Chain A
Amino acid sequence: MRRAVLAITGLAASTTALVVLKGSPGTSQAGQDLPADQASVAPGASGPGVTPAPGPAGSGPAPSTRPSAGASRTPDTKQTGVTAKATTAAPRTTTTAPKPSTRTVTGPTVTYRYGSLQVQITLSGTRIVNATGLGMPQSGGSGLRSDDVQARYSGTSGEVVAKQSANLNTVSGATYTSNAYKQSLQAAIDKA
């Protein structure tokens, strides 16, 4: 009994500790960010049977994603703070000058295990206001996974808009689709 209480307390404490350790970006961790990110990209790219890496021909995914992901993440939370201010300021400018400043950028087609997809983002200035995956599988289990990914990431209130980066939380059960999405998205962000 005493052991059970200890074990349960240990479970709660260590889960919290792990999550907090990974959760806090902290300035001191900016340097560590890069290798950690690299590590998370590398297994996906080098894992057996994973096609995303060689997929986007010529875009050299690893080197291109690394610096930008690192750069965009560190100020992540700060950036959302800034954009929040920007949006409060935005209405004024839009009311005075309804400049058609939105543009769409489409990422490269990424081929992966269950098909291929392309991510299209809509930007207003430098801020992403919408995103959508194109050409994602429609049927069967992979279709369902695509729907999950689409539901999580895309749209005006999806994770892409919320986070303003390709540093998205992988959707459970849709790792391939998530990775492909993130890859095309990253390339689109780089292009924009």
Chain B
Amino acid sequence: MTSQDTYAAGRRTGTSVPHGGRSAAPVPPPPPPALPRRGPGGRRALATVFWLGLVAAVLPWWLDTPAGSLADTPDLLTGAGRITGLVAGYLLLVQVAMMSRLGALERWVGGERLSRLHRDLGATLLVAVLAHLSLIVVAYAGLEEKSILGEVGSLLRDYEDMVSAFVAAGIMVAVGFTGIRAIRTVLPYELWYHLHLTSYAALLLGFGHQVSNGAQLFEAGPVRTGWIAAYLLVLAALAWGRVIAPLHFNLRHRLRVADVVAESPDTISIYLTGRRLNQIDVLGGQYFRWRFLNVGGWWQSHPFSLSAAANGRWLRLTVKVVGAHTADLRDLRPGTRVWAEGPSGTFTAAHRTRERALLIAGGSGIAPLRAMLEELPAGAALIYRARTPADVLLHPELDWLAQARRTSVWYVIGSRHDPGPRQVMSPEGLRRLVPDVTRRDVYLCGPAGLVDEAVRVLRRAGVPRRQIHLATFEL
């Protein structure tokens, strides 16, 4: 039974008071961290580049259009159609660039944030494409006094590259709709993923009509040159991030499975070895996308965090079995070659804003936090939520780390409706456990429900949003 093991705020290890302590004791100032800090500077720079690019994309239209020249409705519609077209062309580029897995992006913005931005921008792109298409068709139909369908027919027949442009729009609509969460969750992940890959085709298919029909891009000149250069740059980023850099990484490190051990009935740890592991530039809390090159697995790439900080001898992932792929991983044979892409993510000690941290883990969410604990300054606190004592993973290691790094660890066991967990996951409970919680960075990793709930509680307890770092295991 779990109730006896529900140490809500009850048990703590590794501080000066071994049992029954009430709060994370204040700790003398730690030695200066050896870890390089990665502030939000890179992210801000990228945001600036994004906005400048957006302005640069629409500016040619502004300069080309004399004031007062949009007198009647078709003119206005054409104008709006051209603006949305330029915006759509630009956003498509940004969308692809964000998914290029370029090292700088993955380190500065982080995979999770990138995919959130990608989803929001995707919705905007979809609307821009649909607006561009319908505005132009309606406007031209008005100018040429044709029916809408007749105009579509003449666009497809008489204009260069319009067939491929319509195909590209169709692809983007399909990708956009399957990106809607409700639809996405009922589709197999692989189907969704491969459909998404066709957006590269949309990038190429949509390009032709921009330069052959785009009022601002048709003419040779700096605008057209700049536009083409931007497309080439993104293609280069893709080639670099998706092909060249991973090839280099994997040829250099040649990772293999060394061992697979059970951590609990439904969780395994996979140990990897390889060459020059001490030269991998990875931080605790980051993840790679892994491909296990055996018969059934080579075509699937799944993200898993490292569950131990880099030590130069081995890498480790701790994986909870949730579906077909993770179930197969239990049967991995030692010696299996592994293809890794990464590291990625900003869920690291280097991205903290304060000296001390509070970590909140749920289930397998302990994996990245366990790795991060090794790199956080002493004095961190960890709250580990698990349903039963058997679900507590890496227990001995956590106890050991608690001693070695002067970390307070609470295991909060039970369902979320049990009194213990309910009490801890409330603003008052948190403040009692960690009185200086508002002056700490809080790292959250676990099931989406737990993370959302914890964010609400933390905000109510007064923790500023920029001190809250999330990893939901969802891309």
Contact = CB atoms under 8 A, between A and B. Distances in A.
Interface residues of A, number: 53
Contacts of A11: 84, 87, 124, 127-128, 131
B186 interface: no
Interface stretch (B34-42, B61-69, B267-275, B461-469): B61-69
Nearest to B212: A173
Contacts of B123: 4, 7-8
Nearest to B127: A8
B144 A25 contact: no
Contact of A19 (B80, B127, B214, B221): B80
Contacts of B83: 15, 18-19
B10 to A, nearest CB: 38
Given A4-B124, A169-B78, 6 more contacts: A1-B120, A4-B121, A12-B131, A73-B66, A76-B68, A159-B143
A24 B68 contact: yes
Nearest to B116: A3
A1 B120 CA distance: 6
Interface string A22-49: 1111100100110011011001100111
A23 B221 contact: no
B331 interface: no
A163 B68 contact: no
Contacts of A76: 68, 71
Ranked 5 nearest A-B pairs via Cβ: A25-B68, A173-B213, A23-B70, A4-B120, A4-B123
B58 A48 contact: no
Given A43-B221, A169-B78, A22 B144 contact: no
Contacts of B266: none
A76 to B, nearest CB: 6
Contacts of A3: 117, 120
A175 B76 contact: no
Contact of A73 (B68, B84, B136): B68
A170 B220 contact: no
A135 interface: no
Contact of B219 (A19, A151, A169, A175): A175
A33 to B, nearest CB: 6
Interface of A: 1, 3-4, 7-8, 11-12, 15-16, 18-19, 21-26, 29, 32-33, 36-37, 39-40, 43-44, 47-50, 73-74, 76-77, 141, 144, 147-148, 151-152, 157, 159, 162-163, 167, 169-176
A141 B160 contact: yes
6 contacts: A11-B124, A18-B62, A144-B158, A167-B66, A169-B78, A171-B215
Contacts, number: 138
A39 B83 CA distance: 19
A169 B75 contact: yes
B233 to A, nearest CB: 22
**Central interface residue in B69, B74, B76, B123, by most chain A CB within 10 Å:** B69
Interface in B102-118: 117
A37 B75 CA distance: 16
Contact of B65 (A22, A43, A151, A171): A22
B71 A23 contact: yes
B219 A44 contact: yes
Interface of B: 58, 61-72, 74-76, 78-80, 82-84, 87, 117, 119-121, 123-124, 127-128, 131, 136, 143-145, 158-160, 212-215, 218-221
Specify the main secondary structure of chain B where it touches its partner.
helix
Contact of B63 (A29, A40, A147): A40
A26 B68 CA distance: 8
A81 to B, nearest CB: 12
A165 to B, nearest CB: 10
Given A8-B124, A173-B218, A33 B145 contact: no
A8 B158 CA distance: 32
Contact of A18 (B58, B78, B119, B159): B58
Contacts of A37: 66
A73 B215 contact: no
Given A7-B120, A76-B71, A40 B65 contact: yes
Contact of B71 (A4, A36, A152, A163): A163
Given A4-B124, A7-B121, A169-B69, A47 B220 contact: yes
B182 to A, nearest CB: 12
B234 to A, nearest CB: 20
Contacts of A12: 131
Nearest to B69: A167
A1 B212 CA distance: 35
A48 B158 contact: no
A175 B212 CA distance: 10
A33 B218 contact: no
B80 A157 contact: no
A107 B221 CA distance: 27
Contacts of A43: 63-64, 221
B214 A18 contact: no
Given A7-B120, A8-B127, A175-B215, A48 B79 contact: no
B193 to A, nearest CB: 21
B221 A22 contact: no
Nearest to A162: B72
Contact of A173 (B80, B131, B159): B159
B392 to A, nearest CB: 34
B390 to A, nearest CB: 36
Contacts of A151: 144
Contacts of A47: 219-221
Contacts of A40: 63-66
